[in-house]
């Protein structure tokens, strides 16, 4: 194999793909997970995931049959785990589009190694999220009332309700994310079609690669479409969680009725999304031998984003308290003191520990560069962000204005199975994804290889003379594919 | 044909039969089918087939279908009766109201019962009856639920075998005819509290015709001690009837006299009227409560003296002694009594209380009254009568009369003795349940088993019914003729709303059968009584007038009484030192009373006014006593008293006297019905015959394990915790503060009203009338009648203990109770009914994604159940948390009998929808229709009464049109006491509250 490049000969920065991999080797490395013959481990993972998905189906069926009462909800706590899970999954669904759209517009070429799987994660997370608002309503069979469908009652939904905004925001986000992901997949699907050895694969990939032949015209259209979708997706990344936060902020409940919610929710969403990307990719890069493509450098970059957004979230917690005190509103102040020291203090401190305290370890380089520690941290982030939504949703409802109506929410076994089941859906989709679709955006990774640069000249030490005068190249010998 | 009968098949058309007739259809059947099909086909294809032929064909096909169906699916037989002769005034779908009378122990009040197409659905008070004047009590409201209880006894039982009525009557007559012939030898008749003139006359006749028969009264609601106390000073059958009308100093001695005891309904209205402050020159009454139990009356009191039950008498001795010493008080016949009173040992606080109270009573001579609870012994009642006499109450706030025809009966101890020595061989029990509620010490159930024959008639096959050789269902008052007299002597008729559901006899019909061995009709018996009373001829017009108004305009028999206290000294026990150890006070539970309502789901699920417990009783102790015992709420304690011991959970009830355990009776019933099963703990085994309400020297110790108690509210105070200031939800002031600063309610606002501005222009409410409500916290006693009336009016479901534990109770109007004060054992309490506040800028409406809850032009926050998908967002955003969600399909599989109670004007809610108070929108609609029919667009003030308003004993709830400045509600909203909850949210509630005013004695502040 080729010698290790310490620096990208064209950009003069550390290389994004280690090991001076050729295009061919890249293609083989990315296609390997899909083309392996031994699927036993995959079947185990898939079996576990599908079992959990079955649990979801059972839970939801029982829910529809029996009623929302199988959950632990009560009066005053009208929203419990369903809404917590919804916000949790929507939040996770933020990282992918952020990576592929916003980082794309900012020309962050390191995104190419992780954007495909992050986007897939986004789509699966939003699918999980979409289940909950659907099933948490009391009369599921009437849920279509939420959509502006012309009907004999001449009845529109109530456009003043944030729940309705949610319907539009999340469905738009899901549609655009799916399209964006699919457009990005087309060149890679064509690669897979060309590599296909079975008829089924040939037809399957053939249909979805839309006749891609890699012509200049194709590339031109592709680049424009991708750019437009990136432009469309970028505001959606910010708007979805802003609108989800309106579910709470637009109400008048102490602890919900807060103007800081939109930015705070977006920061939290990105935080949780990157947490989940790390949770998925740290094992995946090992399992699928992609450590040279998804490098420690990538993990480090994501960790930095986690540190930034985690600190933003911590700042928001502090600012909520400050405003509660500064407003002089006793109901508001009580709501926040009650969060810290009231009946749900345990949940609050889990949230603070996982979201504010542990991410601060990322300041240490050794932590940032240790995949194992980052993996553990990412699990904490996931737990912490779930509890953040729990704290916001449940503590505010449980103790509001009239002490006489205060209550305490206890989940039931069905709350738990529905939540676990949503992980079943998520991992089932992810298993199918790794089996049938390239885990890494192959075309894009290739495009950021030194070889993709028109100025690349292996004879001249890697780069065309005169373009990068004085650049020091540690390893002039590059094997050409 | 016979084969078809043996192998029945289901089919819907001839085609189906002929094409699928491969296996089971017989040759004969096939032929018939084929013939019919061919015939029909031939005819139908011919043009101009006659109508007659077509009908004939149809008929034949249908007949054949009937043959095929025979023996497999049998449609229920339905009798459809045309209204060829429509009953007078009966319009299908329109309710009719009938006056009747409700009895609970000695408490009798007129009611008006709503009949929907022949089904009684709702009980309301009779405005013309002096004991009601409009409201019906919580129990009367709940009686419709009890009436349709599917687990009521439906068939007579001979032993454990069901019997027909003919068999049952044959058994009854056969067993009792010899007894009758023997002059009642060996017969014991056990009755409950008899307040019916007809029934009393029957019992008197029984004593004449069967002189050897013995009559026993078995009823925990029979105020034996009160009767004995009155007899001590007024002679046999003397009665002192107190009245709070015009009373300015009211002393409640160990009794919940405003809510659950005796004539509470009457007292509550007079009490509230005497507290009016928004009148010229207000002269507010002052309530002192003395006793061990912190009940609704104690919560209402301006001053409360927390003493143990055994000390109540001591305090009263001191009060009477002080009154006797007061110059200007004429001791009269009680002159020599001072010595018998001794020198009661009081602590400083008690002494100061007694001194101030005595001074207050003397200052208000003729306007003071002492009311004594039924739990106190007879001598305390007698001494209280003396206190009343000394302050000139007789003839003013207390009326003495002789309850001449009262049936006193013998005691249950004598019943036991008679059963044990064999002198009682036959027992007839009518409406009573001695096997359950007799003092546990007597072990009466074991003695009853020795009787040769027991006939029991009751609403349920209860503990006594299970012992009986013959059990018969007894008619509920809604299905029986009768008559009743109040203690004050007002008489009225009980008229049935429906024929007996299960063919049962009423108490008077059963007694008549016992007397004569012949069946008798209740109506005839009642008319006979009143024919006799009218001197032989019953004026038909008068009778009809009585039925219409619900009141008999003839005075009850009786005579005047002048109490004499000369002999009282002998009856007063020598003063004794306060007994050490624990005292157990047995109380009638505020919901199931002595257990008679144990299978009534509405009552079981009703939260107690103070403890907020549902579905259970618990040992109520003060915080200090709980500390001494080392127990926490929910932990089991073992209480030993009398000859028994019971383990039950403990509940810390602030305000209960020290070293006192309050045990509500009436729970822990077995094999009565699914509602009563498993609800609470039976404490009757601890009670004794000598002291049925108090057990001194009881043993109390922490038990094993704990028990989950379902409350609808935890131990809430207005301070939310963490040193946050009290929330201004219930606003109160003393009368002097109120006079100085009439707008004191505004001082409590969290935001200055001028700072509350809306950034939006609210859409105008265009209705000609705008509905609003006021709730007067100065009048509300927290009696729960509003909640119960709402249950009945709005078809509110019972969800059960497990769901109350989860916080899913469905009451549309709840009573919030908050403790006030720093000492957890010397609290004051305030109660606040909270229903939907009908906010003008309702937060629930904006957040509903499907517009299921919207605003009506008349200012109501409407709920469209059909539109609701159940996101529960409205409930989350409701600051008052008054919305209730149908977590399950609570209205699935309602028993056919229980269905009959439902109000047809109100939708039953399906699972998954939100519901809440509508201000009784169906009543508004009804009034609007009536007004429009009468040619008016405006409904006059007072025409619409919400269910809660109508039944409020203290008139605390007023509903009406806010746009009309003359309406009562508008005028009340102009009161300086008027405020809304959470004004700082600017939701502009239509329900507002009138602040509570306390009237403390300046000497005790």
The shares of helix, strand and coil residues in chain B, as percent rounded to the nearest 5, are 30, 20, 50
Write the residue in A68, A160, A401 that is nearest to B879 by C-beta: A401
Residue whose C-alpha is closest to residue B232's, from B428, B22, B386, B81: B386
d(CA B45, CA B55) in angstroms, rounded, equals 15
The number of angstroms, rounded, from the C-alpha of B581 to the middle of its chain's C-alpha atoms is 35
**A443 CA: distance to closest CA in chain B (Å):** 44
Contacts of B980 in chain A (CB under 8 A): none
Write the residue in A167, A253, A405 that is nearest to B877 by C-beta: A253
pLDDT of residue A111: 85
DSSP string, A48-67: HHHHHHHHHHHHHHHHHHH-
**Is the CB of A67 less than 8 angstroms away from the CB of B888?**
yes
**Is the CB of A338 less than 8 angstroms away from the CB of B721?**
yes
Write the residue in A138, A399, A403 that is nearest to B870 by C-beta: A138
**B448 CA: distance to closest CA in chain A (Å):** 47
d(CA B450, CA A128) in angstroms, rounded, equals 71
- The CATH 2.40.40.20 portion of chain B extends over 579-711
**Is the CB of A145 less than 8 angstroms away from the CB of B803?**
no
Please check whether residue B888 touches A, CB under 8 A.
yes
CB distance B449 to B467 below 8 Å? yes
Please check whether residue A411 touches B, CB under 8 A.
no
Please check whether residue A147 touches B, CB under 8 A.
no
Looking only at the bridges linking them, the beta strands covering B853-855 and B453-458 are unpaired
Residue whose C-alpha is closest to residue B483's, from B873, B194, B95: B194
Contacts of B820 in chain A (CB under 8 A): none
The two three-digit tokens of residue B191, written as one number = 């009755």
- B867: nearest CA partner in chain A: A145
CB distance B891 to B874 below 8 Å? no
Please check whether residue B863 touches A, CB under 8 A.
no
Write the residue in B817, B888, B910 that is nearest to A69 by C-beta: B888
Contacts of B868 in chain A (CB under 8 A): 138-139
Contacts of A164 in chain B (CB under 8 A): 849
**Is the CB of B886 less than 8 angstroms away from the CB of A138?**
yes
Please check whether residue A62 touches B, CB under 8 A.
no
d(CA A442, CA A113) in angstroms, rounded, equals 8
The two three-digit tokens of residue A48, written as one number = 């576990």
How far from B183 is each of B173, B209, B426, CA to CA, in Å?
15, 7, 13
**B271 CA: distance to closest CA in chain A (Å):** 27
In chain A, which among 284-343 make CB contacts under 8 A with chain B?
329-331, 333-334, 337-338, 341-342
Indicate the DSSP class of residue A473. -
Top residue of B611, B759, B881 to mutate, by most chain A CBs within 10 Å, is: B881
Write the residue in A77, A146, A403 that is nearest to B849 by C-beta: A146
The two three-digit tokens of residue B903, written as one number = 């109000």
Q: Is B732-757+769-1002 a CATH 3.30.70.20 domain?
A: yes
Helix/strand/coil for B833: strand
- Contacts of residue A336, defined as CB under 8 A and 6 or more positions apart, other chains included, come to A255, A320, A321, A324, A325
**Is the CB of A329 less than 8 angstroms away from the CB of B870?**
no
Q: What angle do CA B506, B507, B509 make, to 5 degrees?
A: 65
In chain A, which among 65-94 make CB contacts under 8 A with chain B?
66-69, 72-79
**Is the CB of B721 less than 8 angstroms away from the CB of A407?**
no
Which CATH architecture does the domain made up of A23-448 adopt? Up-down Bundle (1.20)
pLDDT of residue B261: 86
In three state form, how does the secondary structure of B595-631 look? CCCCCCHHHHCCCCCCCCEECCCCEEECHHHHHHHCC
Per-block mean pLDDT, blocks of 10 residues, chain B (1005 long): 45 43 41 41 46 66 54 64 73 88 92 91 91 90 92 92 92 90 90 92 92 91 92 90 92 91 90 88 91 92 92 91 86 79 84 92 91 92 91 89 88 91 91 91 89 92 91 93 91 91 92 91 91 84 90 81 86 79 92 92 93 92 91 91 90 91 92 89 91 89 90 74 81 91 88 84 86 94 93 93 92 92 86 94 92 92 93 94 93 88 92 94 93 92 93 94 93 93 91 94 87
DSSP H or E segment with residue B321: helix B309-325
**Is the CB of B727 less than 8 angstroms away from the CB of A73?**
no
Contacts of B872 in chain A (CB under 8 A): 73, 78-79, 138
pLDDT of residue B12: 44
Q: CB contacts < 8 Å between A and B, how many? A: 181
CB distance B302 to B1001 below 8 Å? yes
Please check whether residue B805 touches A, CB under 8 A.
no
Q: State the first-to-last Cα distance of chain B, in angstroms, to the nearest integer.
A: 95
C-alpha neighbours within 13 Å on the C-beta side of residue B36: 22
**Is the CB of A76 less than 8 angstroms away from the CB of B881?**
yes
Please check whether residue A397 touches B, CB under 8 A.
yes
The two three-digit tokens of residue B291, written as one number = 């006793």
CB distance B792 to B145 below 8 Å? yes
- B809: nearest CA partner in chain A: A75
Rounded to an integer, the average pLDDT of A363-375 is 92
**A392 CA: distance to closest CA in chain B (Å):** 13
d(CA B846, CA B834) in angstroms, rounded, equals 22
d(CA B401, CA B277) in angstroms, rounded, equals 33
Contacts of B885 in chain A (CB under 8 A): 68, 73, 75, 78, 138
Q: Is B579-711 a CATH 3.40.50.620 domain?
A: no
**B821 CA: distance to closest CA in chain A (Å):** 16
Please check whether residue B820 touches A, CB under 8 A.
no
**B331 CA: distance to closest CA in chain A (Å):** 50
Please check whether residue B925 touches A, CB under 8 A.
no
Residue whose C-alpha is closest to residue A256's, from A78, A62, A67: A78
In three state form, how does the secondary structure of B216-282 look? EECCCCCCHHHHHHHHHHHCCCEEEEECCCCCCEEEEECCCCCCCCCCHHHHHHHHHHCCCCCCCCC
- Contacts of residue A183, defined as CB under 8 A and 6 or more positions apart, other chains included, come to A222, A225, A226, A229
Q: Residue B936, exposed/middle/buried by CB under 10 A (0-12, 13-18, 19+)?
A: exposed
Please check whether residue B913 touches A, CB under 8 A.
yes
CB distance A230 to A99 below 8 Å? no
Tokens 């014991």: give the residue. B188
d(CA B513, CA B51) in angstroms, rounded, equals 61
DSSP H or E segment with residue B388: helix B378-390
Where are chain A's structural domains?
Answer: 23-448
Helices marked H in A36-151: 40-66, 81-92, 95-97, 103-105, 115-135
CB distance A119 to A181 below 8 Å? yes
Top residue of B752, B813, B849, B868 to mutate, by most chain A CBs within 10 Å, is: B849
Q: What does the pLDDT look like over A147-201, one tens digit per residue?
A: 998 888 888 999 999 999 988 999 999 999 999 999 999 999 999 999 888 899 9
Instruction: Find the radius of gyration of the CA atoms of chain B.
Output: 32
The number of angstroms, rounded, from the C-alpha of B218 to the middle of its chain's C-alpha atoms is 20
Q: Is B238-402 a CATH 2.40.30.20 domain?
A: no
Helices A296-327 and A330-341, packing angle to 10 deg: 130
- A156: nearest CA partner in chain B: B850
Tokens 């044990």: give the residue. B420
pLDDT of residue B60: 65
**Is the CB of A67 less than 8 angstroms away from the CB of B887?**
yes
**A405 CA: distance to closest CA in chain B (Å):** 7
**Is the CB of B850 less than 8 angstroms away from the CB of A78?**
no
d(CA B664, CA B817) in angstroms, rounded, equals 19
Residue whose C-alpha is closest to residue B791's, from B939, B875, B890: B890
d(CA A283, CA A68) in angstroms, rounded, equals 37
Average the pLDDT over each of A104-113, A252-261, A309-318 and give the range with the smallest value. A104-113
**A395 CA: distance to closest CA in chain B (Å):** 12
Contacts of B818 in chain A (CB under 8 A): 403-404
Contacts of A401 in chain B (CB under 8 A): 727, 879-880, 982, 985
d(CA A294, CA A282) in angstroms, rounded, equals 9
Please check whether residue A12 touches B, CB under 8 A.
no
Q: What ipTM was reported for this prediction?
A: 0.90
CB distance A292 to A317 below 8 Å? no
d(CA B587, CA B344) in angstroms, rounded, equals 26
Please check whether residue B807 touches A, CB under 8 A.
yes
Taking residue B466's Cβ as centre, other Cβ atoms within 10 Å add up to 19
**Is the CB of B847 less than 8 angstroms away from the CB of A74?**
no
Give yes or no for residue A28 having a pLDDT over 90.
no
CB distance A90 to A244 below 8 Å? yes
């Amino acid at each position: 194999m080729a010698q290790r490049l310490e620096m990208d000969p064209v950009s003069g920065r550390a290389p994004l793909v280690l090991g001076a991999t050729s295009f061919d080797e890249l293609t083989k490395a990315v296609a390997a997970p899909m083309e392996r013959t031994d699927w036993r481990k995959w079947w185990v993972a898939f079996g576990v995931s599908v079992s959990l998905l079955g649990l979801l189906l059972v839970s939801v069926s029982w829910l529809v049959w029996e009623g929302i009462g199988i959950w632990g909800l009560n009066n005053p706590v009208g929203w419990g785990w369903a809404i917590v899970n919804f916000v949790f999954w929507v939040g996770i669904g933020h990282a992918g589009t952020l990576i592929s759209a916003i980082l794309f517009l900012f020309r962050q070429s390191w995104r190419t190694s992780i954007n495909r799987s992050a986007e897939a994660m986004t789509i699966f997370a939003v699918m999980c999220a979409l289940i909950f608002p659907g099933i948490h309503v009391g009369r599921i069979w009437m849920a279509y009332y939420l959509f502006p469908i012309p009907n004999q009652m001449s009845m529109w939904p109530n456009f003043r309700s944030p729940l309705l905004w949610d319907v539009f925001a999340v469905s738009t986000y899901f549609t655009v994310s799916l399209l964006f992901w699919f457009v990005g997949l087309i060149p890679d699907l064509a690669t897979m079609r060309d590599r296909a050895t079975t008829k089924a694969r040939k037809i399957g990939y053939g249909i979805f690669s839309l006749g891609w032949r890699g012509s200049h015209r194709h590339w031109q259209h592709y680049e424009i479409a991708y750019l437009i979708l990136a432009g469309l997706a970028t505001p959606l990344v910010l708007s979805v969680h802003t609108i989800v936060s309106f579910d709470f902020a637009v109400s008048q409940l102490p602890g919900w009725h807060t103007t800081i919610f939109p930015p705070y929710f977006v920061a939290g969403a990105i935080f949780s999304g990157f947490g989940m990307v790390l949770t998925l990719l740290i094992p995946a890069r090992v399992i699928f031998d992609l450590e040279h493509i998804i490098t420690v450098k990538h993990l480090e970059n994501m960790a930095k984003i986690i540190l930034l957004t985690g600190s933003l979230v911590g700042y928001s917690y502090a600012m909520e308290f400050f405003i509660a005190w500064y407003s002089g509103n006793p109901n508001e102040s009580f709501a926040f003191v009650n969060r810290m020291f009231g009946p749900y203090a345990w949940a609050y401190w889990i949230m603070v520990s996982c979201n504010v305290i542990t991410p601060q370890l990322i300041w240490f380089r050794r932590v940032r560069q240790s995949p194992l520690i980052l993996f553990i941290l990412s699990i904490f982030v996931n737990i912490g962000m779930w509890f953040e939504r729990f704290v916001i949703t449940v503590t505010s409802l449980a103790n509001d204005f009239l002490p006489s109506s205060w209550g305490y929410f206890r989940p039931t076994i069905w709350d738990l199975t529905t939540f676990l089941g949503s992980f079943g859906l998520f991992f089932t989709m992810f298993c199918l994804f790794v089996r049938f679709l390239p885990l890494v955006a192959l075309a894009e990774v290739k495009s950021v290889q030194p070889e993709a640069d028109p100025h690349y000249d292996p004879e001249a030490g890697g780069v065309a003379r005169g373009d990068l005068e004085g650049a020091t190249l540690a390893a002039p010998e590059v094997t050409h594919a | 044909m016979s084969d078809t009968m043996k192998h029945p098949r289901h089919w819907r058309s001839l085609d189906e039969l002929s094409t699928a007739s491969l296996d089971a259809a017989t040759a004969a059947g096939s032929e018939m089918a084929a013939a019919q099909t061919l015939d029909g086909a031939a005819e139908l294809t011919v043009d101009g087939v006659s109508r007659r032929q077509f009908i004939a064909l149809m008929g034949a096909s249908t007949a054949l279908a009937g043959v095929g169906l025979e023996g497999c699916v049998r449609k229920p037989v339905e009798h459809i009766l045309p209204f060829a002769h429509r009953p007078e005034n009966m319009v299908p779908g329109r309710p009719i109201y009938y006056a009747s009378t409700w009895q609970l122990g000695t408490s009798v009040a007129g009611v008006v019962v709503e009949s929907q197409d022949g089904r009684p659905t709702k009980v309301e008070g009779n405005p013309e009856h002096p004991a009601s004047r409009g409201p019906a009590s919580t129990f009367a409201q709940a009686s419709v639920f009890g009436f349709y209880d599917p687990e009521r006894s439906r068939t007579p039982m001979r032993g454990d075998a069901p019997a027909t009525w003919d068999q049952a009557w044959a058994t009854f007559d056969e067993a009792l005819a010899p007894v009758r012939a023997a002059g009642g030898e060996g017969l014991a008749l056990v009755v409950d509290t008899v307040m019916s003139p007809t029934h009393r006359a029957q019992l008197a006749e029984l004593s004449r015709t069967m002189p050897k028969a013995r009559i026993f009264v078995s009823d925990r609601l029979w105020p034996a001690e009160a009767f004995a106390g009155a007899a001590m000073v007024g002679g046999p059958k003397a009665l002192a009837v107190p009245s709070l009308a015009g009373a300015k100093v009211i002393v409640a001695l160990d009794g919940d006299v405003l809510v659950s005891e005796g004539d509470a309904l009457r007292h509550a209205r007079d009490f509230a009227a005497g507290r009016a402050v928004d009148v010229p020159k207000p002269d507010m009454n002052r309530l002192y409560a003395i006793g061990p139990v912190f009940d609704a009356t104690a919560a209402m009191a301006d001053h409360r003296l927390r003493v143990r039950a055994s000390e109540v008498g001591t305090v009263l001795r001191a009060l009477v002694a002080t009154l006797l010493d007061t110059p200007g008080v004429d001791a009269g016949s009680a002159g020599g009594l001072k010595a018998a009173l001794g020198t009661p040992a009081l602590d400083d606080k008690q002494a100061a209380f007694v001194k101030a109270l005595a001074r207050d009573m003397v200052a208000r001579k003729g306007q003071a009254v002492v009311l004594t609870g039924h739990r106190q012994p007879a001598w305390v009642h007698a001494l209280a009568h003396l206190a009343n006499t000394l302050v000139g109450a007789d003839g003013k706030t207390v009326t003495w009369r002789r309850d001449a025809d009262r049936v006193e009966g013998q005691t249950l101890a004598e019943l036991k003795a008679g059963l044990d020595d064999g002198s009682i061989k036959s027992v007839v029990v009518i409406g009573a349940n001695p096997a359950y509620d007799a003092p546990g010490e007597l072990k009466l159930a074991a003695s009853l088993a020795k009787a040769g024959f027991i006939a029991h008639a009751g609403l349920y096959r209860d503990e006594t019914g299970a012992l009986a050789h013959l059990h018969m269902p007894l008619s509920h008052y809604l299905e029986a003729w009768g008559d009743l007299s109040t203690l004050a002597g007002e008489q009225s008729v009980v008229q049935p709303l429906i024929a007996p559901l299960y063919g049962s006899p009423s108490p008077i019909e059963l007694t008549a059968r016992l007397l004569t061995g012949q069946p008798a009709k209740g109506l005839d018996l009642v008319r006979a009584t009143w024919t006799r009373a009218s001197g032989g001829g019953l004026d038909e017009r008068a009778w009809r007038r009585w039925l219409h108004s619900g009141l008999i305009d003839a005075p009850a028999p009786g005579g005047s009484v002048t109490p004499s206290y000369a002999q009282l000294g002998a009856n007063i026990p020598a003063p004794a030192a306060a007994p050490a150890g624990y005292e157990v006070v047995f109380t009638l539970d505020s919901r199931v009373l002595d257990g008679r309502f144990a299978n009534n789901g509405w009552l079981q699920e009703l939260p107690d006014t103070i403890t907020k417990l549902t579905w259970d009783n618990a040992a109520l102790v003060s915080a200090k006593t709980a500390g001494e015992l080392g127990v926490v709420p929910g932990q089991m304690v073992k209480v030993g008293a009398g000859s028994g011991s019971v383990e039950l959970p403990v509940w810390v009830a602030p305000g209960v006297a020290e070293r006192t355990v309050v045990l509500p009776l009436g729970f822990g019933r077995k094999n009565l019905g699914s509602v009563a099963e498993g609800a609470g703990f039976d404490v009757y085994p601890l009670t004794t015959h000598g002291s049925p309400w108090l057990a001194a020297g009881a043993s109390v110790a922490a038990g094993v394990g704990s028990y989950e108690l379902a409350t609808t509210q935890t131990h809430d105070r207005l301070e939310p915790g963490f040193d946050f200031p009290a929330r201004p939800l219930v606003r109160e002031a003393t009368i002097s503060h109120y006079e100085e600063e009439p707008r004191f309610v505004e001082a409590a606002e969290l935001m200055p009203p001028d700072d509350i501005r809306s950034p939006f222009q609210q859409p105008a409410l265009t209705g000609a009338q705008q509905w609003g409500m006021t709730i007067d916290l100065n009048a509300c006693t927290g009696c729960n009648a509003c909640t119960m009336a709402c249950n009945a009016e709005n078809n509110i479901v019972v969800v059960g203990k497990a769901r109350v534990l989860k916080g899913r109770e469905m009451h549309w109007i709840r009573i919030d109770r908050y403790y006030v004060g720093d000492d957890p054992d010397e609290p004051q309490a305030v109660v606040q009914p909270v229903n939907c506040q009908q906010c003008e800028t309702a937060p629930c409406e904006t957040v509903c994604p499907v517009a299921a809850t919207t605003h009506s032009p008349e200012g109501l926050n409407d709920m469209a159940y059909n539109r609701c998908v159940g996101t529960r967002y409205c409930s989350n955003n409701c600051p008052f948390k008054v919305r209730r969600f149908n977590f399950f399909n609570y209205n699935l599989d309602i028993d056919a009998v229980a269905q009959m109670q439902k109000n047809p004007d109100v939708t039953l809610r399906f699972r998954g929808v939100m519901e809440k108070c509508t201000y009784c929108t169906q009543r508004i609609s009804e009034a609007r229709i009536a007004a429009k029919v009468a040619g008016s667009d405006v409904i006059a003030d007072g025409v619409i009464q919400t269910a809660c308003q109508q039944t409020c004993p203290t008139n605390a709830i007023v509903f009406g049109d806010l746009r009309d400045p003359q309406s009562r509600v508008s005028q009340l909203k102009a009161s300086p006491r008027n405020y809304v909850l959470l004004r700082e949210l600017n939701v502009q509630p239509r329900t507002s509250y009138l602040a509570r005013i306390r009237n403390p004695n300046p000497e005790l502040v």
